[in-house]
Chains A and B, each alone.
Chain A
C-alpha cells in the first residue's frame, strides 16, 4: 500500500524540511465566506505525537480534516495554502484523495464500527483495496495487537463489532485504520466519549503506534492527555494557531498570555 502510494505521492521532498513527513504552509480553511482557520504552518514528523489543543470551536478538527482531505467532502468548505505530504502539495487537483487516505488514516470522536464482525471491520480497508484473503488473518491479528485489543477479542473475531464496549470499539477503529499500515494517523478527540480506563488504554496505544514510526496527530481538549501522549503541541484560539512547540516547553513556559491563561484554566 505504501509502496503504491509512494509511486504517486512520493516526489522528492523539496519544499518541506527534510525531517517533516507532513506539513502545512499558510493553510487556510473557510466554510462559505467564513474563514475558520487562519494561515497555519506546522510540520509533523514520523514517530512523533503532535497534539492540537484549544477551546471548543477553535478550528482543531477543521485543520485535522484537511490533512486527509476529508474537508473535500464538506459542502461549502474551501482550503487555501499548501499541505505537503512527502514533499508534494496534496491540495493540487490531480492528487487522488482516495489513494491518499490509504496512507493517512483517521479515527473519529465517536467510535464508528461498521455493522460487521470484528475481523471484517479490521480487514475492511485492506480487503477493499485488494488484499488477498490468505493474508487476511495475519493482518487482522497484527492490527488488533497494535491496537492492544487482540487479547480481549481473539476468540470472538467472528462476532459483531457492535457488541464491543465503547472503549473496545474505539480501539477497533484504531486497528481498522492501522490495518492499512498508514504513515500518518489522525485522531479527533478519540477518548472524549470514553471512561478513564479506556482512555488510558488508548493513550498507551497511541504512544506505541508512534514508537513504531507512525506520525500521529491527535486533537484533544484535555490538557493532561496532551501532556501524557504528545511530543509536540499546537495551541489554537479562534481559528488561529497561537503557539506550537515541544509539549513540555509549551506547558512549562508558555510564550503567549493566551496559552498561559488557557493552561491555568482561565478560559476554555
Chain B
C-alpha cells in the first residue's frame, strides 16, 4: 500500500503503467487494461475512476494521497472489536460477581462474629474482669491487656530491626548471590507456618534459654514471625520509590544515608504504614506461635503494682501471658466453664473489633503523618 502511494507521488504525467506495483508485488507481465482484474480489492485506479494511462492529478506536496481502502480489513477489524466489546463485558460481569461474593462472605462473617458476641462486647465486666476457671461470668481483662502489650513489645523490637534490614537490602546490598540468598531466605521465612515458629520458641526460648512461658518468650517468637514479613513489605515499599527521587536527593549533595532518611523513607511512608498495620493485625490475632511460648494462663493483673518481679505486675515480661487468640483456642479445646460459647464468641468479637480499630487508627495516623510530611 505504502509503495503505491509513493509511486503516485513521484509519477510523471505520462508514466508507464507497468511501473505501478500493487500490493507490493512487482508485475511479471504488463499490466492488463482492466486493473481491477488484478485483485479483488478496489484499486487506486477504481478510486480515481480512470484507467492507468489517465492523468492522475498530482497531489499537493506534503498532503497524503488517499490510500485505497481495504474494506475486508476494516470489516475484520469491526468484527474483532465487537468481539472484544462482548468479551470485555462478560469479563466485567464475572469479576463483579466474584468480587460481590467475596464481599458478601466477608461481611457475613464479620456480622456473624459481631452479632454473636454483641452482648459481651458491650459488657464492661467482661472486658475488664478476670477469667473464671469453673463458673460462669468470667472476663478477659488480662487477655486484652496481654494482647496489646505483646503487640507493642513485638513492634518495638521488630520494627527497627526490619527497617534496618530492609534499608540495607534495598539500598546498600550489592547485587550478588549472597543478597539473593538472603532475599530468598526472607521470602521463605515470611510464609513459615507460625506453629513452627512457636515450637522453635518453645524449644529454644522457653527450655534452652530457660525463659519459661513468658511475655519475653512470646514477644521474641512473634518478632521472629514478624521480621521477615516486615522486611519484605518495607523493602518493597522502598524499591517502589522511583529512582529519580534517589538521584534528585544525591544531586542536591545528600549522602546515600541522608537520601534514605530524608527522601526515600518519607516517600515510602504510606506503604510502610500499611505494611506495618497489616503485619500488626496478624501478630495481634496470632495464636499458634504463642501457645507454647507466652503460655496459656493469665494471672490476674494489678495495675497499681510496679514491682517488675511480681506476676501480678502488668509490665513484668517474665510472667506467663495468655492473649485473646490463645484464650479462644484454649476455652474451646479444654474449657469447662458453663458459658463457654458465650465467652468464646465475645472474645472473638473483641479481637475482631480491636484489629478493626487498630487498622482504622493506623490509617488515620498514616494519613496525618503524610499530610505533615507533605505540608511543612
Contacts and interface: CB of A to CB of B under 8 A. Distances in A.
Interface of A: 68, 70, 73, 75, 98-102, 105-106, 108, 110, 112, 114-117, 120, 124-125, 128-129, 158-160, 162, 173, 176-177, 180
A176 B253 contact: no
- Closest A-B pairs by Cβ, 9 of them: A112-B248, A112-B244, A106-B251, A125-B252, A101-B253, A102-B253, A160-B374, A98-B253, A117-B375
A115 B252 contact: no
7 contacts: A68-B251, A73-B247, A73-B250, A100-B253, A101-B252, A128-B252, A173-B248
A165 to B, nearest CB: 17
Contact of A128 (B244, B247, B248, B262): B262
B247 A112 contact: yes
A70 B251 contact: yes
Nearest to B251: A106
Interface string B145-184: 0000000000000000000000000000011000000000
Contacts, number: 77
Contacts of B375: 117, 120, 158-160
Contacts of B254: 98, 128
Given A75-B174, A160-B374, A173-B248, A114 B253 contact: no
A115 B253 contact: no
Contacts of B374: 115-117, 160, 162
A115 B251 contact: no
A108 B248 contact: yes
B251 A99 contact: no
Interface in B248-268: 248-256, 258, 262-263, 266-267
Please indicate which of the listed interface residues B245, B250, B253, B376 has the most CB atoms of chain A within 10 Å of its own CB: B253
Given A75-B175, A112-B244, A117-B374, A129 B253 contact: yes
B104 interface: no
A176 B244 CA distance: 14
B244 A99 contact: no
Given A160-B374, A176-B252, 14 more contacts: A70-B247, A98-B253, A98-B254, A101-B253, A105-B251, A108-B244, A108-B251, A112-B242, A115-B373, A115-B374, A124-B252, A162-B374, A177-B251, A180-B253
A124 B262 CA distance: 10
A164 to B, nearest CB: 13
B62 to A, nearest CB: 15
A166 B175 CA distance: 33
Contacts of B373: 115-116
Interface string B41-72: 00000000000000000000000000000000
Contacts of A120: 375-376
A129 B253 CA distance: 8
Interface string B354-376: 00000000000000001001111
Nearest to B256: A73
B172 to A, nearest CB: 11
Contacts of B250: 70, 73, 101
A100 B256 CA distance: 15
Nearest to B370: A115
Nearest to B254: A128
B268 to A, nearest CB: 9
A88 B75 CA distance: 70
Contacts of B253: 98-102, 125, 128-129, 180
Interface string B258-295: 10001100110000000000000000000000000000
Nearest to A104: B251
Given A101-B253, A128-B253, A128-B254, A110 B244 contact: yes
Contacts of B267: 114-115
A176 B252 CA distance: 9
Contacts of B248: 108, 112, 114, 173, 176
Interface string B84-112: 00000000000000000000000000000
A255 B110 CA distance: 78
Contacts of B255: 98
A253 to B, nearest CB: 28
Nearest to B374: A160
A8 B103 CA distance: 64
B287 to A, nearest CB: 38
B247 A114 contact: no
Nearest to A73: B250
A115 B376 CA distance: 11
A164 B254 CA distance: 24
Nearest to A163: B374
Given A99-B253, A112-B248, A176-B252, A128 B258 contact: yes
A124 B255 CA distance: 14
Nearest to A101: B253
Contacts of A99: 253
